[in-house]
Structure 1
Amino acid sequence: MDLIIKNGTVVTASETFKSDVGIKDGKIIAMGSDLNVDGAEVVDANGKLVIPGAIDVHTHLAMPFGGTVSADSYLAGTRAAACGGVTTVFDYPMQRKGMTIKEVIDSKKAICEQDACVDYAYHCIITDLNDGDILNEMESAVEEGITSFKCFFVYKKEGMMVDDGTFVQLMLKAKEVGAMINLHAENPDLIDYNIERFLAEGKTSPWYHYLSRPEHVEAEADKRAVHWAKHYQAPLYLVHMADKEGLEALLEAKQDNPNLFVETCPQYLEFTCDVYKREDGRNFVCSPPMKGQESQDALWKAIKNGGIDVVATDHCPFQSYEKDWGKDDFTKIPNGCAGVENLYPYMLSAANQGKISFNRAIELCSRNPAKIFGCTEKGTIAVGKDADIVIYDPEVDFTISVDNMHSDYDHTIWEGIQVKGYPVQTYSRGRLVYDHGDFVGEPGWGNFVKREKRPQ
């Protein structure tokens, strides 16, 4: 064995037990007590939890948006991921009109091969069917390990929105070829109507970003998407769920279609729409926006009772001077916030404080993402799996600040948030990439994760 992690408490989505973990050539090859240490590096995890690396299935790295590009490159974003215990990230490369899926993916591959510090996968955003060519190409994309595709019900003026007919065609094709459609659900016509009205009335503060796309505007689109998925019995993954009404509709529909999945994000669990009344409210502008307390309570309820499947981040930070473009007009604020380095510490802290179990935190952040999106070598600690391992110290008190993060942004919405417990080491396929506050990995280490298709 190359490495043995000894004396720790292994925690998975379903079990908690004392065990040593033996690693060779990037894989877990042995578990048990008193493993033979001959020639192996030994790490003592006494008093600590040994848990699977998180999988953040929702990031936007180096993404052009709002007249700029998101602040974290593939290098910076995956470096930050490693330092927060995330060992696989999913990015959302964007199709523009006329592009094939292969062209979209190839435009990112060379960058990731050079820069990615942890493993990576892609959901391809589809904005144009190319006269049906995209539907024909989906099967070959699935065979290459691209098994999920994203649609927007918003951003009509930006040329990114799909209509209901296109959405249903994509869902049905995904069902046929063993793929998944991910959806950003908000109603674009109501948003555009609200924005036009507020600007005409001189209502331009970040508070009106929230009021332009409040709970019912998201809920209508959630319910419309769930309606189609239910009646066509097609798989659907709703991203960044933030509102109570839409969540409840999806949870009800799950009874008839078990291939419906819902994701929420840490920012919706921590903050409410009141942040948009703050002096720095523009820094919190993202879409969908944070909602009211009733919606946050519903999200936490579904976190606790198993209704929500995944917590991911929608990591898409921008620099403060770019956020300042909208200080007098909320429509000019680039939409997005940081989160990839905060995901696992935040959810594990919730477990450490008794809000959920550690098993549930791992289910939400590692096991379920791996299972839903076909990452068969990841998501748990077991013999034969990739040695994506986090050593977590439940006794550490940690205060998040831009100064102790590892991204390229100059501010964070998580500034001053305190968490109980923190990752002290991260191993990516058996290699130490984060060690007690320091990134010790290497750009280019990350591998492309070829995923298995969904059962048809």
Structure 2
Amino acid sequence: MFDLIIKNGVLVTPSVTYRADIGVWNGTIAAIGADLGTEGGSIKDAEGKYVLPGAIDAHTHLAMPFGGTVSADGYLSGTRAAACGGVTTVFDYPMQKKGKGILETVKARQELCAPEACVDYAFHCCITDLNGGALLEEFQAAVDYGVTSFKCFLVYKKEGMMVDDATLIKVLLKAKETGAITNIHAENPDVIDMNIAKFLSEGKTSPWYHYLSRPEFVEAEADKRAVHWAKSVGAPLYIVHMADKEGLEAAVAAKREGHKIYIETCPQYLEYTCEVYKREDGRNFVCSPPMKGEESRQALWDAIRKGDIDTVATDHCPFMSYEKDWGKDDFTKIPNGCAGIENLYPYMLSAANEGKISFGRAVELCAENPARIFGCAQKGSLTVGKDADIVLYDPNLSFTVSVKNMHSDYDHTIWEGKTLQGYPAETYVRGKLVYKDGAFVGTPGYGRFVKRETSG
């Protein structure tokens, strides 16, 4: 007996694609078989569609204060958009501030998220200050609570978010001790600040100089430094939004040496290059790290095909057009961030449809690997006993992205006009239909907090 039977679809896993039915009971996958019959709950005929595990966007910034404003998508609109793009679990980054605790920080964001979340959610906690060392003693309590990853910034010194190398090492060691993992935003702040001061003094203020102030080698140096410290203390490291070839090569080399180094990149770095900053609307593409040159873009795709990149996430942090316009004459005043949460899975699946990667690889990058790395035991694959987070994907549906057909609260998207081959037709979160044929049909507040295990 099932609540839902999805019949006649083609199931996709990282290793195999096969035709089967899925039976769902009480929010979990209860059975997978060649013919589960038609008795029980509702029947969904998935003939002609791929059946995929829901994606996990392991990198978002919802309702995030930054640059004098707050990101345009809060927890309601951000998770609604996620559902409509086949993302069934979203990771957000609460920002710990000086004098505040980890669980204090996380629980405050959880209170905001819980009434609004349309999909399931989890948290990484950004560490900005060790509170004289006391914060390190909270790591175990955070892990016990289900927050098993912590983020450090090697940049944003003036904003009070950066950690120095000694603090990074302390975090790496404590994370290792407690079975957690450290996420890192790697860029060199001193070189960036030096470049910014130079460009501003010369009157060079267009978005192009956002890229030139933080080019490839600025990210690469910090990537290498982070990898060096992780290797030196034997701690796992997850490098977020990798965008440059040189840093990528260093991280891949460490992985091949047997170190627990995980690499994330984002769709914007796979699609665009720094040339976008020369466009009239270049300010809309300002994010950090910025898109890099074509050589780096190709290196990222090559690493994806070879299996060297572990995950693709979005760094979703959109702002309104008028806020981006604050920096039309001064790139330093542009709030950093772009949209992507609704575009992640469709973009990577379109790449599979176009033959750039396999459908199994898309599932691995967007679902199975983030679930494994971050300890989401009930997520990431079509497996009996796991949550029925399921996407029905129509490979024959052509879809052109526009701000008019997205489900966020922003008023523009860097993906405007991008045509994708294939698109999600339905999304289920724990067996509940939340998206169907272009419309959100879920319920705000349905999403649950994902208590994670130590993993990786």
| TM-score, scaled to structure 2 | 0.99
Aligned to 2:68: 67
Contact 1:170 1:181 in 2 (8 A): yes
Indicate yes or no: 2:405 matched with 1:393.
Answer: no
**2:45 aligns to what?**
44
Q: Tell me, yes or no, if structure 1 residue 102 matches structure 2 residue 118.
A: no
Corresponding residue for 2:192?
Answer: 191
Q: How far apart are the structure 2 equivalents of 1:238 and 1:336?
A: 18
Q: Give the C-alpha shift of residue 454 in structure 1.
A: 2.9
- Work out whether residues 372 and 455 of structure 2, in 8 Å CA contact, stay in contact via their aligned partners in 1: no
Note the C-alpha offset of 1:258.
3.3
Tell me, yes or no, if the aligned pair for 1:273 and 1:291 is still in contact at 8 Å: yes
Aligned partners of 1:110, 1:100: CA distance in 2, in Å?
Answer: 16
Write out aligned runs for 1:344-359 (5 A). Answer: 344-359=345-360
Counterpart position of 1:232: 233
In the alignment, the residues of structure 1 paired with residue 390 and residue 258 of structure 2 have an alpha-carbon distance, to the nearest angstrom, of: 33
Secondary structure of the 1:396 match is strand
The structural deviation recorded for 1:40 is: 1.5
| Secondary structure, aligned partner of 2:72 | coil
| DSSP 3-state at the match of 2:18 | strand
Counterpart contact for 1:230–1:257, Cα < 8 Å: no
The CA deviation at 1:297 is: 0.6
Three-state SS of the structure 1 residue aligned to 2:434 is: strand
Amino acid of the structure 1 residue aligned with 2:270: L
Q: 2:137 maps to what in 1?
A: 136
**Structure 1 position 37, deviation (Å):** 2.3
Shift >2 Å, 4+ stretches: 255-258
In terms of mean alpha carbon deviation, does 249-258 or 404-413 score higher?
Answer: 249-258
Q: What residue number does 1:379 align with?
A: 380
CA drift of 1:386 comes to 0.3
Q: Residue 302 of structure 2 aligns with which residue?
A: 301
Quote the residue 2:293 is aligned against: 292
Q: Distance in 2 between matches of 1:234 and 1:332?
A: 36
Q: Does 1:318 align with 2:319?
A: yes
1:250 counterpart residue number: 251
Q: What stretches of structure 2 of length at least 5 have no aligned partner?
A: none
2:349, 2:330 → 1: CA distance? Answer: 37
- Structure-2 residue corresponding to 1:415: 416
Q: Which amino acid aligns with 1:106?
A: K
Distance in 2 between residues matched to 1:402 and 1:319, nearest whole Å: 12
- Hey, what's the Cα distance between the residues in 2 that align with 1:105 and 1:233? 27
TM-superposed CA distance for 1:156, in Å, is 0.3
Gaps spanning 5+ residues in structure 1: where? none
Which secondary structure state, in structure 1, belongs to the residue aligned with residue 378 of structure 2?
coil
Distance 2:35 2:172 in 1: 50
| Alpha-carbon contact 1:86-1:341 (below 8 Å) kept | yes
Change in CA separation of 1:257 and 1:232 when aligned onto 2, cut-off 3 Å? farther
Matches within 5 A, 1:94-173: 94-173=95-174
Question: Could you tell me which amino acid in structure 1 is paired with residue 268 of structure 2?
Answer: Q
Distance 1:201 1:157 in 2: 22
Deviation by residue 1:245-281 (Cα, 9 ceiling, x = unmatched): 0000011111234311000000000000000000000
In structure 1, what residue type is equivalent to 2:84?
C
Q: Secondary structure at the match of 1:254?
A: helix
1:230/1:256 contact within 8 Å kept: no
More off after superposition, 108-117 vs 347-356: 108-117
CA contact (8 A) 2:326 2:334 kept: yes
Q: Sequence identity, in percent?
A: 71
The whole-number CA distance in structure 2 between the counterparts of 1:331 and 1:112 is 30
Residue of structure 2 equivalent to 1:343: 344
Structure 2 CA distance for aligned equivalents of residues 392 and 33 of structure 1: 19
Tell me if structure 1 keeps the 8 A contact 2:57–2:89: yes
| Deviation sequence 1:14-59 (CA, Å, 0-9, x none) | 2210000000100000111221322310000001000000000000
Give RMSD over aligned pairs.
Answer: 0.7
Contact 1:233 1:257 in 2 (8 A): no
The equivalent of 1:12 in structure 2 is 13
Q: One-letter code of the match for 2:234? A: Q
> Displacement of 1:112 after TM fit?
1.4
For the 8 Å contact 2:206–2:328, the answer to whether it is kept is: yes
Answer whether contact 2:88 2:119 (CA < 8 A) is retained. Answer: yes
Partner amino acid, structure 2, of 1:233 = G
CA distance in structure 2 between the aligned counterparts of 1:397 and 1:255, rounded to whole angstroms: 39
Cα deviation 1:178-224 (Å, max 9, x = unaligned): 00000000000000000000000000000000000000000000000
1:13–1:380 contact (8 Å) kept in structure 2? no
Corresponding residue for residue 328 of structure 1: 329
SS at match of 1:424: strand
Of residues 251-260 and 370-379 in structure 1, the stretch that sits farther from structure 2 once superposed is: 251-260
**Equivalent residues of 2:231, 2:259 under 8 A apart:** no
Establish whether residue 260 from structure 1 lines up as the match of residue 261 from structure 2.
yes
Instruction: Measure how far apart 1:138 and its partner are.
Output: 0.2
Amino acid at match of 2:251: L
Instruction: Tell me how far 1:233 sits from its aligned partner.
Output: 1.1
* TM, length-normalised to structure 1: 0.99
List per-residue Cα deviations over 1:153-199 (Å, max 9, x = no partner). Answer: 00001110000000001001100000000000000000000000000
Shift in Å at residue 133 of structure 1? 1.1
Partner of 2:428: 427
Whole-angstrom CA distance in 1 between matches of 2:256 and 2:302: 18
Between the aligned partners of 1:237 and 1:58, the Cα distance in structure 2 is: 11
| Residue 181 (structure 1) aligned with residue 196 (structure 2) | no
- Distance in 2 (CA, whole Å) between partners of 1:238 and 1:216 is 16
Paired letter, 1:252? A
What is the DSSP-based 3-state SS (H/G/I as helix, E as strand, rest coil) of the residue aligned with 2:115?
helix
